[in-house]
Chains A and B, each alone.
Chain A
Amino acid sequence: MPMKGRFPIRRTLEYLQKGEVVFKNSVKIMTVNYNTHGELSDGARSFVFFNVPQIQYKNPWVQIQMYKNMTPSPFLRFYLDNGEQILVDVEGKNHKEITQHVKKILGKKPEVLEEEARIAMVSSNPANFGPKKYCLRECLCEVEGQVPCPGLVPLPKEMTGKFRAQMKASQE
C-alpha cells in the first residue's frame, strides 16, 4: 500500500481542503524561521509540519520559505506587495495558536470568501448544461433518474415521434 511518510494524512485532499487560512491578495511571501531542536520551537515545528501544506494548497501563488537554525527564537515574516513586512513572534506557542493568529491578521474574512465563491458560481454555474470542459453535464440523460439516452437504450414506442405521428394519422 503506498503510504509515504510519517503522517500520510497530510497528503490527502480532504485534509488539505480543510485548511482555514486563505491569505489576502496583498500577501506575496511567507518566511518561517525555526529551530530543529529546543522546546520553544516546538509549536513552530508542528506548524511547519502540519499546517504549511494546508496553507500552500489554499494559496498556491504565495511563496513559502523555511529557514532552519538561523536564530535562537522562532518567528514568521510576511512580505506584502506594498513593501510592508510583518513580523510574527511564535516562541512558545503551539501550532493551533499560530494558525489562529495568522488567520486573524492576514486571513480573508469569511464574508469575502463567500462573496468570491458566489462570483465564481456565476461564471461556472453547476446547473448549466454544456461541453464537459465548462459544465458538469452535457445532457439531461446523464442525470440519475431521468430518461436514458436514446442513443444507448431505445425509447419505448409511445415516446417516439414516429409512433405519435402514426397515431395521429390513424385517428384523423
Chain B
Amino acid sequence: MFQVARSPAALFRLLTPRGGVLVEAVRGRKSRNDPKAKSKVDRVKLPPPIDPEEMVVLKERYREYDLIVRALRAEFREEVMRRRYEEQVGSRAEERAKREAEEHRALMEWNDRENLRLRQLREVRVQKQVEEEAKRRAEEILLHEERRQCVLKEKEQEILQLQEDVKTFITPENLEQRIEEALDNPKNYNFAIDKEGRVVKRTVLP
C-alpha cells in the first residue's frame, strides 16, 4: 500500500510531518476487502458517449491506416530478411568466400617466401659459425703446440746449463785440489756499494 521513498527532494523534506517517514501515494492504495469511500458510493461510471456517424468514419479511416502500416512493415521485414539471406547463403557470400580464399593463399605464399628468406640467412649464419669454430680450434691447437715447444726448449736449456755446471762440481777426486785452491785465494766479502750498484769501498784483508 504505502511505499517508503529513498530519494526525496529537499522541498518534500520540509513538508513532511516531524519525526515521520516520508510516504508516497501509490496507485491501488486500497486492498481487496476495503470498502468504497463514502463520497464515491453512489458514483456510476459510464463510458464516454460516442457519435455513431463519427464512429463509422473513424473506423473506416483506422482500417485503411492499419492496412497501409501493416503492409509497410511487412515490406521492410521482408527486405531485411532477404538481405540477411543474401549475406549468409546467396551468391555474394560465395564470391566473398572465394575472394577470401584467394587472399589467404596469397598471404600464405608471402609468408612462405619470408620464411625461406630467413632460412637462407640462418643457414649462412650457421655456416659461418661452424667455420669460425673450426678456425678457432685449429688456432688453439697451434698455440698449444707452440707452448709445448717453448717448454721443451727451456728444459733443454736447463739440461745444457746443468751439464756445464757439472764441470765446477766438487767430487771426491777434486776435493783436496779445491781445498788447496780455496786456501790459496782468500775472498773478501766485505764491501760497500753506492746507489748505482758499483762497488765503492773494500776493507783491507787481515
* Contacts from A to B (Cβ < 8 Å): 73, 86-89, 91-92, 101, 104-106, 151-154
Contacts and interface: CB of A to CB of B under 8 A. Distances in A.
B119 interface: yes
Contact of A104 (B107, B115, B118, B119): B107
B107 A105 contact: yes
A88 B111 contact: yes
22 contacts: A73-B122, A86-B108, A86-B111, A87-B115, A88-B111, A88-B115, A89-B115, A89-B118, A89-B119, A91-B118, A91-B121, A91-B122, A92-B118, A101-B114, A104-B107, A104-B110, A105-B110, A105-B111, A106-B107, A152-B7, A152-B9, A154-B11
A105 B9 CA distance: 60
Contacts of B118: 89, 91-92
- The 9 residue pairs across chains A and B that have the minimum distance between CB atoms: A89-B118, A105-B107, A89-B115, A105-B111, A154-B11, A152-B9, A91-B118, A154-B9, A91-B122
Interface SS of chain B: helix, strand, loop or mixed? helix
A101 B11 CA distance: 65
Given A89-B118, A105-B111, 10 more contacts: A73-B122, A88-B115, A89-B115, A89-B119, A91-B118, A91-B121, A92-B121, A101-B111, A104-B110, A105-B108
A148 B122 CA distance: 70
Nearest to A152: B9
A96 B108 CA distance: 20
Chain B interface size band reads 10 to 19
A153 B13 CA distance: 12
B17 to A, nearest CB: 19
Contact of A151 (B9, B110, B114, B119): B9
Contacts of A104: 107, 110
A154 B13 CA distance: 12
A3 B110 CA distance: 42
B95 to A, nearest CB: 15
A76 to B, nearest CB: 10
Interface in B111-137: 111, 114-115, 118-119, 121-122
Nearest to B119: A89
Nearest to B12: A154
B98 to A, nearest CB: 15
Contacts of B115: 87-89
**B11, B110, B118 pick with most chain A CB within 10 angstroms:** B118
Contacts of B7: 151-152
A73 B123 CA distance: 12
A148 B110 CA distance: 60
Interface in B90-117: 107-108, 110-111, 114-115
Nearest to A78: B111
Contacts of A154: 9, 11
A86 to B, nearest CB: 7
